[in-house]
Structure 1
């Protein structure tokens, strides 16, 4: 049963800071993180569960936090721009890093395959590999709308933007049935935000972008 849910694709990053409600990972490749709102997974320490979460923040900067990256295109003539800067300064890939932050949304018990929409017993372990979920996993995870409540309560994330991004991803992977899924999920969202119509409207409008 375990192999049905373990994503065999190579990881996209490594956990470098962790907590029960979310974690930060460093992308293996500079400027190649998972997408904003993308569903990602990491195994727990015992290897019995997958911990699911959504990417809510992406940033690239210097590896040394005390030194900010500076403009390279101002050096020399002719001026180098965009990808030319990296071609002329290959060492940048070792001096810069791309990180992404994830809010935890639920878990899957690998023995049974059951998804639970709550926090794991323990945070994702440091230095474990993070993987972008497959389309089938995204469809399976978002088949229930229970994850919406956790996103709406995520104080560390841009909630409206993140919710809309995850809904856009969920719609896209469903093809022709995506629109109906979005309508059904929108009804669930409306129940959660029945006292906050402006917030609901903002999220639904962003789903159309």
Structure 2
């Protein structure tokens, strides 16, 4: 179900100054463009619901920028292709869909991710984290077990990738960024361990309505620092 009228937006908690639209229930009555519909010919019902509702969110968000409706198709590595002059990011998980958009004249890149506030499946944390990250997760879990800090780490790294890819058109693995969290400020910082146009990202996070939501926004027109490779990591392209 959608939240009651007047309830605060989850996406606004992490992106208060960017156009964002979210949904807590699916709307399959939204018509898709033929090019979008063609992508779903072999999709299961769950995929159709996610795809349709998140694009409904995207159309609504773009409409607030006076951008007319158009197909939002996956491009290289599945990244959405936005209308000219627009940057954006989409996310979906069980019970939640969201999209954030902005004009390129104002925002260089966006990345958002939503996950259920539940621990990662067994074995996943070791795959997506390093020893330092696992240490702060353990400490924060003892201090506040209501938050799945391992899931927050996973979500933050997903947001990092979504912000990184439009700038570089290159893959970024979980091992290519190390994340630290400021629980008092509800912010996180990701230091990138590969060479590229930025050395890292700072983002926001929230835990609300059973969700962990993370977001990154980089303003346009600000200098982007050149990376100095991290200790033990030689310069070179990401894998």
TM-score (norm 2): 0.25
Query: Which structure is higher in RCO with an 8 Å CA cutoff and minimum separation 6?
Result: 1
Q: Give the structure with higher Rg (CA).
A: 1
TM-score (norm 1): 0.28
